[in-house]
Amino acid sequence: MAYNKFTIDRVRKQFQIQVVEQDSLFPEIEAVAAGEMLRYFLNRHLPLAEAIGTEKAKSEFIIAPILAELRELTDRQVSLFSGLEFNVDEAQGLNGCCDYIISQSGLQFSITAPVLVMVEAKNDNINSGLGQCMAEAIAAQVFNQQEENQIETIYGCVTTGSIWRFLKLEGKKIAIDDQLYFIDRLETLLGILVQIVTMGRSVQ
């Protein structure tokens, strides 16, 4: 089994995880302005990504540029991984390829401190990716425990590129944000991403 085989119910039963919905995971968000290059790129290419409509197009023209901007906003103090094998515990099905992993470390050559895992929604169905995202978050939690990283909270996100939904794993509890975040509020979205990856430290 692999990450993409997990459903919410399977995650809940296999890992004895409590799953709840929460009004907002980010009650206080400080908006972060996008750089001129990202704004220009999205204005020019977002309509193309939506017209093509495939996961690959949305990944290349929307998601990846936003995550690359996140890395710049943190002065490259976080690392970004795309399409990487993340095999943590094959016996429990915590293995396979992850769409995106953000690590709270500037080391780009290997995953050292994952803090955010992201899943591209299948067929533009946000909720369909939640089970996979939860499994990847649990894998990141196990990885951090094995590496003795002092990261108590793992975030996950399922996105179509235009719509983003977040969840948070702490201990044996996963909270799913009731709110959906949209690409037309890019500064808010970037504020959330910066807040997640800079927990416990400040961005210069």
> What band does 201 get if pLDDT is binned at 50, 70 and 90?
low
Helix (H, G, I), strand (E, B) or coil at 109: coil
Average pLDDT on 149-164 reads: 95
Q: Do residues 78 and 69 lie in contact, with contact meaning Cβ atoms separated by under 8 Å?
A: no
Query: Domain 3-197 class?
Result: alpha beta
Q: Give the type of residue at 86.
A: F
Tell me the domain boundaries of the chain: 3-197
Under DSSP, the state recorded for 125 is B
Q: How far is Cα 159 from Cα 100, in angstroms, rounded to an integer?
A: 11
Task: Inform me whether the pLDDT recorded for 204 exceeds 80.
Answer: no
What pTM was computed for the model?
0.94
> What pLDDT, in 10s, does the model give residues 60-77?
999 999 999 999 999 999
Tokens of 125: 């169905």
First to last CA, the chain: 41
Band of pLDDT at residue 200, cut at 50, 70 and 90: low
The mean-pLDDT minimum among 9-18, 60-69, 124-133, 159-168 falls in 124-133
Q: What is the pLDDT of residue 203?
A: 39
CA gap 164, 93 in Å, rounded: 25
| pLDDT for the residue 10 | 96
